[in-house]
Structure 1
Amino acid sequence: MLQRYLFWNKPFRKVLWWLVIIGMLGSLPLALARQHTETSANQVEFVFDYRDLLDIADIQTNPQDFLAEHLKRMKEAGITSMAVYESTLSELRESRRIEYYNSRDAMMMMQNYGNPNENFTYVLFADSATQQVLEPLIQKTFSDLKVATRPWSFKNKNGLIIEMNSDEAAIQSMDPDPMTLKMLKDQGFQIVVRLSNRRPFVTNEMDKLLKSLYDLGVRRMIVDGNEVPGYSEENTEVKLNKMADLLHKNGIGLAAIEMLKEPQAGFSTLAKQTNYDVVRLHSFTEKDGEKLTELVSKAERAERIQGVADRFVLAVKDRNIRMVFLNAKPVKNTDKAVLVDPLSAYYEALQGPDGAIPRIEKVGFTVGQAKAFRVQTSALQPVASALMLIGGVSLIALTISFFVPEAALILFILGILGAVALHTLSATLYAQGLALADAICAPSVAVMLAIRSVRSGRAAQWKSGLAYGFWQLIKTSAISLIGVAYEVALLNHITYELVLQQFRGVSALHLLPIGIAGLYLLFFSVESTYAEKFAAVRKILSSYINVLGIVVAVVALGAVYYYLTRTGNEGQASAFEKLFRSFLENTLGVRPRTKEFLVAHPIFLLGAYLSVRYRHAVYLIFIGVIGQLSIVDTFAHLHTPLHISLIRISYGLGFGALIGLAFIIVWEIVARSWKRWVPRVSK
């Protein structure tokens, strides 16, 4: 029985390669569908927070003139939309539509001592037209809160008395100000509404509000706060489904704010129930804007403005952002004894020399109302999914067979059964698990094959080290791209592109291929029995520790720590490197990864070149695993368009090959000089 199994197992390793390739070919239609999805919406919307503009205008000498001037300047700068919140008494006061007082101030105005046991809010309307629009809105809001209101007037100005203290009354949420909405629409702005979960969710009232907003041209809602409208601890699913139905019925989609510390409660449900009518939003915060108001040199200010422009371009081009949300606030400059704001800097960042909007339009986008991606599907999805399951499991079995060749067949069978069971249990867990496993296995296999080529002596048979080096770099990178194909196709759902769902466990991709390739290099790359392998392990574990070993270990751990600090979204970079990155981005359009083109690929190429003559150069090839896993990791950023990732790794390989060639030239110069110099010294 065992002999029969081993008889079938030996040729099966070649079959595994064919299954991997067939699975990879099956993934291509799904990758193509994703590419079509990513390119289905190219309008970018720049939105300004209207409430912030009111805050800045409120401290000006002529608030209304300031407001009118900057609305015009914003439109000229390419800010086509205004974000309008649920109104409050405080916001209506900043808009100069009302004025309100507490009981004490109102009594002083009327020269009446009043009731010492009263602390109400006294509201006055700017004029009769304003009263006609806002009075019903205010009365309904406080009626819903079971707070009494009654008429009041002062010096021919009509108003209301609200039986709630002014501090509390000022922050109660109402429907967005109809007068502001109409004014902004008349001036040609698109309106993006911000709705919160601060008010009780009433289906009919929300339906009426959304319909009125749609009639004003609103097509996108941004959630204001940590919870979506309708979210509650009781009957959450029912209320969220109703809210989603109302959004869908009234043709209003969502905007997903990127890089939130915590996702907004209920957002994923709304997104799913609205068929993912969602765009990604990049927020330029008030804190970001403050940096543009600091007292710095003219050159420093220009550099910061350029950085803002670069940031917007990168967000749109590299992260599928379709809405850029601008915040601002007035800042006290005590050195100049003035109040300043970043508005002029924003206009310059958008339309100034090398501004964001011309650059965004240059790469194929247009400025306009943001639209959601039209999700493309493939008719070959069922067939492709089956092929990827078989091919993905085959790649895992193939990787393990480098260490235990006899287990290839049984691992494949068990893997298929396990994958089917996992898919039945959770399609998401299956897709992420198989994608991660293949992403780890592909660069590991690629580098292990390169190591085997040297250890087996095949590298030494090449006449040209340069030809062998380039061949190995191309071949190894191509094998790594197999992992990319599986990763992209298995995780081709729109939720990954919108970052509503995260690819978990990617940090393992940064270390496991290094460990797998290192283990193979040390113990499995030379033909030997299992007993000899275990003996080699025991010998290392029982070796005496000397000072040199400690130094090497410390250096190695330091290198690993530095590598980890430079990896992922939280990686740290120096000011010089940030400047270098910006230079690459602006010069090339897409920035290649530094660790690929400056370190890993050049060292790999040098190692392959030298391994034709020196077998110990295989350790340089091993360092190249960092570049190979980085190729796969580039595509793990699922919110980055595929063509951007392809350009990035192409630049990495191209520049890496050129720098590697420079390494080889330097090596030859040093080596030949050494050969000439050593004989002279010996004489």
Structure 2
Amino acid sequence: MVQWYKTWNNPLKNILWWLVIIGMLGSLPLAFTRNQTETSVNKVEFVFDYRDLLDIADIQTNPQSFVTEQLKNMKAAGIGSMAVYESTLSELRSSRRIEMFNSRDAMAMTQTFGEPNENYTYILFADNATQQKLEPLIQKTFGDLKVATKPWNFKNRSGLIIQMSMDDASIKTMDPDPITLQMLKDQGFQIVVRLSNRRPFVTNEMDRLLKSLHDIGVKRIIVDGNEVPGYTEENTEVNLNKMADLLHKNGIGLAAIELLKEPQKGFNTLAKQTNYNVVRLHSFTEKDGEKLTEPLKKAELQDRIQGVADRFVLAVKDRNIRMVFLNAKPVKSLDKGKLVDPLGAFYESLNGKDGAIPRIEKVGFTLGQAETFKVETTAWQKIARIFMLVGGVSLIVLMVTFFVPELALFLFVAGLLGAVALHALSANFYAQGLALGTAISAPSVAIMLAIRSVRSGVAAKWKSGIAYGLWQLLKTSLISLIGVVYVVALLNHITYLLVLQQFRGVGVLHLLPIAIAGLYLLFFSEKNTYVEKWAHVRRLLSSYISVLWIVTAGVALAAIFYYLSRTGNEGQASTVEKLFRSFLENTLGVRPRTKEFLLAHPLFLLGAYLAVRYKNAVYLMFIGVIGQLSIVDTFAHLHTPLHISLIRITYGLVFGALIGLVLIAAWEIVARSWKRWVPQLSK
């Protein structure tokens, strides 16, 4: 039995490599369809919050003239859409559609002494046309709330008395203001409506509302609040299915706001039921806008405006954003002694010098209503899953064989059975688990093969250290890219592109390949028995700890902490580095990762160059594992277009190699100078 196992286990390693390559080739068509999907639409929509415009206008001397002027300015700047909320009495008042009073104010106006126990809301319409449009809307809203209304007149102005306190009545949600919707449409704006879940979900009423929005040209809604319309504690699934049917019936899609602290409840269900009629939205918040109103020198303000433009370009180009939502608010400036707003700065950031819109159009996008991605599929997908399963498991097993080659056959069979079982339990967990396994395995295997080439003496046989270093950098990177193909193919569902699902466990990818390659370098890279390996471990653990060891450990922990602080979306960077990143982005179009081209790749190349003569240079090569895992991690940002990630890692390798060659030249100068001058100094 043992002999039979060895007979099959020993040649398995070479077979595993073929299975990995076949699996990768079988996965390439899925990666191609992913590229087709993310390049299927190129329209970008800039949306401004109309409610914010009303708030800014409310403090102006001539509010309505101000709104009219700013709408023209926005249209000229490239803002083609307006976001309109469900209306409230408070918003209708800001729009100058109505005036609103409490009972005390109404008594003072009419010079009467009313009922002391009354605290009602009194409203007056701006004119008869406004009354005809809004009175039915207001009466229906408060009628649904079981609140009585009755007519009221003051100095030939018609109005209503609402039997509810003004503070309470002013925030009750109604349908969007039909006068505003028509006015914006007439001025050529597309309309995006923000719908909330503040009103009871009634199918017929929602159908009526969505049909009216469809008739005015609304193609997409943005959820206002933490819950989608139709989300309830009871019968949630039934209501969300009804809401999805109504959206589909009226040809209206959704917008997914990126970087929310918490997902909007029910959004993923609604997105799925609408067949993912969803676009990604980047929000420029009121707080962001405040930074453009601070008392700054002209140069500082221009830097911030340029930063806003860069932000919009990156959102569209690097994160598949198709809708940019702009917010603003008036700010009291004590330094200027007046109220200010960021509208002028917005226009400059969009269409000024190096503005966002010309740059976005330059890379192939056009302005227009945002459209959902057209999901490309292939009949090869079902067959490819088999290749991905076998090839992915083979890659993980290959990584383990660097430590325990005797377990290759057992792990391969167990891995296949485990992967099939996991897929039966949850296709999502299976895809993410196998993707994470291959993402960790590929750079680990790549760097361990480079270490083995030095330990086995292969490096010493090369005549040219530069040729060996460049070859190792290229070969190691190509092996890491095998993991990229598996990750992209396994996670090619539209939900990852829209970030409705995220690739979990990516944080492990930042550390585990370093730990795996480090363990191999210290204990498994030499050709010795398991007894000798264990003896090496015991010697290391029983060694006396010196101050140097403590200092080294402290430096290593500090380096790990700094490294982790720089990874992920929450990574920190200094102001100088942000400026450097901006320079790279604006100069190259796509910014390479600094840890790749300034650290990992150059040191790997220098280490490989020196390893031809000095075996201990392998420890310098080991640092290159950071660059290799970064290559895979770049593509693990599944919302980034594939061609952008490919350009990014290519720049990283090219510039990393150039800097590495500079380091090699510097090493040779220092080494030769040392050899020349040290003997003379010792005389």
The question of a shared fold, defined as TM-score above 0.5 by the shorter chain, is answered with: yes
CA distance in 2 between partners of 1:459 and 1:682 (Å): 34
SS at match of 1:413: helix
Q: Which residue of 2 aligns with 1:146?
A: 146
Residues 295-326 of structure 1, C-alpha deviations (whole Å, 9 max, x = no match)? 00000000000000000000000000000000
Q: Which residue of 1 aligns with 2:134?
A: 134
Amino acid in structure 2 at the alignment position of 1:456? S
Amino acid in structure 1 at the alignment position of 2:392? G
CA distance in 2 between partners of 1:375 and 1:4 (Å): 48
CA distance in 2 between partners of 1:616 and 1:73 (Å): 66
CA distance in 1 between partners of 2:215 and 2:646 (Å): 42
How far off is 1:335 after superposition? 1.6
Which segments of 5 or more consecutive residues in structure 2 lack a partner in the other structure?
none
CA distance in 2 between partners of 1:335 and 1:456 (Å): 71
| Pair 1:330 & 2:330 matched | yes
Amino acid in structure 2 at the alignment position of 1:306? Q
How far off is 1:95 after superposition? 0.6
Amino acid in structure 1 at the alignment position of 2:304? R
CA distance in 2 between partners of 1:462 and 1:545 (Å): 38
SS at match of 2:482: helix
Q: Which residue of 2 aligns with 1:270?
A: 270
CA distance in 1 between partners of 2:379 and 2:661 (Å): 45
| Pair 1:392 & 2:362 matched | no
Q: Which residue of 1 aligns with 2:369?
A: 369
How far off is 1:139 after superposition? 0.2
| Pair 1:315 & 2:352 matched | no
SS at match of 1:204: helix
CA distance in 1 between partners of 2:336 and 2:450 (Å): 64
CA distance in 1 between partners of 2:494 and 2:629 (Å): 24
CA distance in 2 between partners of 1:21 and 1:612 (Å): 29
Count of aligned pairs: 683
Mapping of residues 204-215 of structure 1, within 5 Å: 204-215=204-215
Q: Which residue of 2 aligns with 1:291?
A: 291
Residues 7-61 of structure 1, C-alpha deviations (whole Å, 9 max, x = no match)? 2111110000000000000110000000000001100000000000000001100
Residues 199-238 of structure 1, C-alpha deviations (whole Å, 9 max, x = no match)? 0111111111111111111000000000000000000000
Amino acid in structure 2 at the alignment position of 1:228? V
SS at match of 2:11: helix
Q: Which residue of 2 aligns with 1:202?
A: 202
Mapping of residues 426-575 of structure 1, within 5 Å: 426-575=426-575
Residues 621-671 of structure 1, C-alpha deviations (whole Å, 9 max, x = no match)? 100000000000001100000000000000000000000000000000000
CA distance in 1 between partners of 2:8 and 2:266 (Å): 53
CA distance in 2 between partners of 1:655 and 1:337 (Å): 50
Q: Which residue of 1 aligns with 2:166?
A: 166
Q: Which residue of 2 aligns with 1:601?
A: 601
Q: Which residue of 1 aligns with 2:52?
A: 52
SS at match of 1:635: helix
CA distance in 2 between partners of 1:152 and 1:535 (Å): 96
Q: Which residue of 2 aligns with 1:650?
A: 650
How far off is 1:424 after superposition? 0.2
Q: Which residue of 1 aligns with 2:619?
A: 619
| Pair 1:38 & 2:32 matched | no
Residues 513-550 of structure 1, C-alpha deviations (whole Å, 9 max, x = no match)? 00000000001000011010011001111110011111
Which segments of 5 or more consecutive residues in structure 1 lack a partner in the other structure?
none
| Pair 1:671 & 2:671 matched | yes
| Pair 1:100 & 2:97 matched | no
Residues 593-630 of structure 1, C-alpha deviations (whole Å, 9 max, x = no match)? 00000000000000001100000000011000000000
How far off is 1:76 after superposition? 0.1
Q: Which residue of 1 aligns with 2:63?
A: 63
* CA RMSD, Structure 1 to Structure 2 (Å): 0.4
| Pair 1:351 & 2:332 matched | no
Residues 532-576 of structure 1, C-alpha deviations (whole Å, 9 max, x = no match)? 001100111111001111111111111111111111111110000
Amino acid in structure 1 at the alignment position of 2:649? I
CA distance in 2 between partners of 1:549 and 1:438 (Å): 34
Amino acid in structure 1 at the alignment position of 2:22? I
Amino acid in structure 1 at the alignment position of 2:195? L
| Pair 1:228 & 2:234 matched | no
Amino acid in structure 2 at the alignment position of 1:486? Y
Amino acid in structure 1 at the alignment position of 2:85? Y
Amino acid in structure 2 at the alignment position of 1:19? L
CA distance in 2 between partners of 1:647 and 1:414 (Å): 38
Amino acid in structure 1 at the alignment position of 2:70? H
Amino acid in structure 2 at the alignment position of 1:594? T
SS at match of 2:153: strand
Residues 483-504 of structure 1, C-alpha deviations (whole Å, 9 max, x = no match)? 0000000000000010000110
CA distance in 1 between partners of 2:404 and 2:487 (Å): 25
Q: Which residue of 2 aligns with 1:15?
A: 15
How far off is 1:334 after superposition? 1.0
CA distance in 1 between partners of 2:297 and 2:145 (Å): 52
How far off is 1:682 after superposition? 1.7
SS at match of 2:636: coil
Residues 166-186 of structure 1, C-alpha deviations (whole Å, 9 max, x = no match)? 001000000000000000000
Q: Which residue of 1 aligns with 2:117?
A: 117
SS at match of 1:152: strand
How far off is 1:2 after superposition? 0.6
Amino acid in structure 2 at the alignment position of 1:41? V
Q: Which residue of 2 aligns with 1:423?
A: 423
CA distance in 1 between partners of 2:646 and 2:432 (Å): 21
How far off is 1:348 after superposition? 0.2
Residues 351-393 of structure 1, C-alpha deviations (whole Å, 9 max, x = no match)? 0000000000000000110000000111100111100000000
Mapping of residues 83-98 of structure 1, within 5 Å: 83-98=83-98
Amino acid in structure 2 at the alignment position of 1:320? N
How far off is 1:3 after superposition? 1.4
Q: Which residue of 2 aligns with 1:243?
A: 243
CA distance in 1 between partners of 2:451 and 2:426 (Å): 37
How far off is 1:280 after superposition? 0.2
SS at match of 1:463: coil
SS at match of 1:583: helix
How far off is 1:197 after superposition? 0.2
Amino acid in structure 2 at the alignment position of 1:505? G
Identical-pair percentage: 78
Q: Which residue of 2 aligns with 1:305?
A: 305
| Pair 1:581 & 2:581 matched | yes
Amino acid in structure 2 at the alignment position of 1:381? Q
Normalised to the residue count of structure 2, the TM-score between the two structures is 1.00
SS at match of 2:322: strand
Deviant stretches of 4+, over 3 Å:
none
Amino acid in structure 1 at the alignment position of 2:223? V
How far off is 1:678 after superposition? 1.2
Residues 151-174 of structure 1, C-alpha deviations (whole Å, 9 max, x = no match)? 010000000000000001000000
CA distance in 1 between partners of 2:243 and 2:472 (Å): 56
CA distance in 2 between partners of 1:336 and 1:475 (Å): 61
Amino acid in structure 2 at the alignment position of 1:196? S
